[in-house]
Structures are given as structure tokens and as C-alpha cells.
Structure 1
Amino acid sequence: MSTLSLKLPESLLLRLDQESRARRLTKSAVVRAALERELEPAKSARATSCYDLARDLAGSVRKKLPKDLATNPKYMEGFGR
């Protein structure tokens, strides 16, 4: 295994130290796990739902539509003719 040196701000080093103590792991093990998670191929990009892609648009049209549009049968009268 190779060695890597890096500089961290004191606040991040403190958080790393706290996390390593909480998990009872070395700082190196915590950093390796974080890097593996961060650099893992984006599985979530492949499993993204249509809602996730349009989340900012969801409900944006609702202001002009009736609240019972999906449940009230009167809105379906004449549909498909």
C-alpha cells in the first residue's frame, strides 16, 4: 500500500479525529472509506428516477389546477372522444 500526504484545515482534521474515535478506526481507514465512497462510479446516476430529474418542476403547475383533479370523475367526462 502506498503512502499519501495531504494538508487539512484544523476543522476538518478535528472532524476526522472525532470520526475515527467514534468508529474505532484509524484516521487512514476513515479517509480510505470516504475516498472509496466518493470515487465509486455513480450508481445513483443510473438509478435516478424521472421525479428526481424533474423535482424542481413537480407541483409548479398545480396552482392553476383543481386540487381534486386526480380523483373527481367529472374531469374525465368526454375524455377519449
Structure 2
Amino acid sequence: MITLTVKLPEALAAKLESLVRRRGQRRSEVVRQAIERAIEEEPESSGQSVYDLAKDLIQPGSGPKDLSSNPKHMRDYGS
């Protein structure tokens, strides 16, 4: 096992100590269980990019054309 040092705000440390007393467990065990629970509840990354997740929602050619190539749209730009 590795040792991990964590700084807690006083209010959170007091809540931790209260929980430790109620459960009759060591502080490190309560913290380990909380970390394990947090990791289990965190959804795993699918490894997909935003594009991969949204590509079914995007239809090629459905958006506006490149407005920067039309001089009419660039006329007042930068003035």
C-alpha cells in the first residue's frame, strides 16, 4: 500500500472524525471506502472523442457555407 497525505478543511475533517467514531473504524479505512465508492460511481470514459459521440447528429453539408470566402460577408470585418 502507498501512503497518501490529504489536506482537509476543518469542517470536513470534523465530519470524518464523527463518522470514524460512529463506525468504530480507523480513519484510513473510512477514507479508503469513500474513495472506492467515488471511483465506482464515476462513469468510465468510453475513450471516444466528442466528434465520435456526436457524428450521428451531424449531417455533412447541412450547415452554412464558409462565409469567410464570400466578400459580402467580410466587407465590414475589422473596421
TM-score (norm 1): 0.49
TM-aligned CA deviation for residue 19 of structure 1: 0.1
TM-aligned CA deviation for residue 42 of structure 1: 5.1
| Matches of 2:5 and 2:11, distance apart in 1 | 17
Which is greater in Rg?
2
Provide the secondary structure at the position in 1 that maps to 2:37: helix
Structure 2 unaligned regions, length at least 5: 44-79
| Matches of 1:6 and 1:42, distance apart in 2 | 20
What is the root-mean-square deviation in Å for CA atoms of aligned residues?
1.5
Deviations 1:18-38 (A, max 9, x none): 000000001110000000000
Q: Which amino acid aligns with 2:28?
A: S
TM-score (norm 2): 0.51
Structure 1 unaligned regions, length at least 5: 44-81
Pair 14,41 (structure 1): closer, same or farther in 2 beyond 3 Å = closer
Q: Percent identity?
A: 44
What is aligned with 1:20?
20
Q: Could you list the runs of 4 or more consecutive aligned residues of structure 1 that deviate by over 6 angstroms after TM superposition?
A: none
